[in-house]
């Protein structure tokens, strides 16, 4: 996946993120491709307000009791982005929990998880994880989030990743609230 971060372009290939430039040749399997990147255009004077960034978002995960259903909502000021329930939200949920468990640490150190540990928790292979990351990035991009590619961050020269949002909330889904077998209150994890 090739994505823009500020004024530079990066390529995420099998979990390794490297800078990439226009005209560079990329090897994928036995095939070589020449990359042609678009030029940045100056902003229009009367443009709408800039797209919200991940640093300004608050993510709210509503999770069913059996964790089969993970609904995600993002808020930015008065704007609400209903990202609904998707299977690729579950890896985000696990990464959000890791970040919340470490919220007493400085932000730069919060939430890093080794990829192999995440794969074990999810019981999936690396390809499925990369597909889930791609789908999450695409969904956030389609929702209008400016730096959607960073919803999952990778620590350079390691196999660690984390969720790219600091403001997180995890609650029981409303569907579970009506379940008479469910305890009266459930605290966020």
Same domain membership, residue 21 and residue 64: no
pLDDT band at 41 (very low <50, low <70, confident <90, very high): low
Residue 45 lies in a domain: no
If DSSP codes are grouped into helix, strand and coil, which group holds residue 75? Answer: strand
How would residue 48 be classed by pLDDT, with cut points 50, 70 and 90?
low
> Per the structure, how many domains does the chain have?
2
> Is the confidence at residue 172, as pLDDT, over 70?
yes
Q: How far apart are CA 107 and CA 10, in angstroms?
A: 23
Is residue 124 domain-shared with residue 171, that is, in the same domain? yes
Check whether residue 71 and residue 107 sit in a common domain.
Answer: yes
Buried b (16+ CB within 10 A) or exposed e, 106-141: eeeebbbbebeebbeeeeeeeeebbebbeebbebbb
Q: Report if residue 3 sits inside a domain.
A: yes
Whether residues 61 and 125 share a domain: the answer is yes
Evaluate whether residue 95 is within a structural domain. Answer: yes
Q: Kindly indicate the confidence band of residue 46, based on its pLDDT and cuts at 50, 70 and 90.
A: low
Tokens standing for residue 144? 């209008």
Instruction: Provide the domain limits for residue 32.
Output: 1-39
Question: Across all residues in the chain, what is the average pLDDT?
Answer: 87
Residue pair 61/89 in contact by the 8 Å Cβ criterion: yes
Quick check: 2 and 35 in contact, CB under 8 A?
A: yes
**Does residue 100 lie in a domain region?**
yes
Structural contact between residues 149 and 3, judged by C-beta atoms closer than 8 angstroms: yes
pLDDT value, residue 44: 59
pLDDT at 7 (0 to 100)? 76
Shared domain for 101 and 25, answered yes or no, is no
Measured in whole angstroms, the distance separating CA 103 from the mean position of its chain's CA atoms is: 18
Does residue 4 sit within a domain?
Answer: yes
Left if phi > 0, otherwise alpha if psi is -120 to 50, otherwise beta: which for 91? alpha
CA 34 to chain centre: 28
Tell me the average pLDDT across 121-132. Answer: 95
Whether 6 and 55 map to the same domain: the answer is no
**73 assigned to some structural domain:** yes
């Amino acid at each position: 996946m090739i994505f823009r971060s500020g004024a530079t372009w990066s390529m995420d290939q099998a979990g390794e993120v490297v800078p990439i430039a226009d005209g560079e040749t990329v090897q994928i399997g036995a095939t070589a491709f020449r990359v042609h990147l678009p030029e940045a255009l100056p902003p229009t004077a009367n443009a709408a307000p800039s797209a919200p960034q991940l640093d300004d978002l608050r993510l709210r995960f509503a999770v069913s009791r059996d964790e089969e259903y993970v609904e995600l909502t993002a808020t930015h000021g008065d704007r609400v982005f209903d990202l609904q329930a998707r299977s690729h939200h579950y890896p985000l949920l696990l990464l959000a929990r890791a970040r919340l468990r470490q919220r007493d640490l400085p932000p730069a150190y919060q939430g890093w998880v080794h990829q192999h540990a995440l794969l074990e928790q999810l019981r999936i292979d690396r390809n499925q994880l990369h597909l889930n990351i791609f789908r999450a990035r695409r969904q956030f991009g389609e929702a209008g989030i400016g730096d959607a590619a960073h919803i999952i961050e990778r620590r350079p020269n390691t196999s660690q990743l984390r969720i790219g949002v600091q403001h997180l909330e995890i609650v029981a889904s409303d569907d579970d609230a009506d379940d008479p077998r469910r305890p009266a209150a459930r605290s966020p994890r």
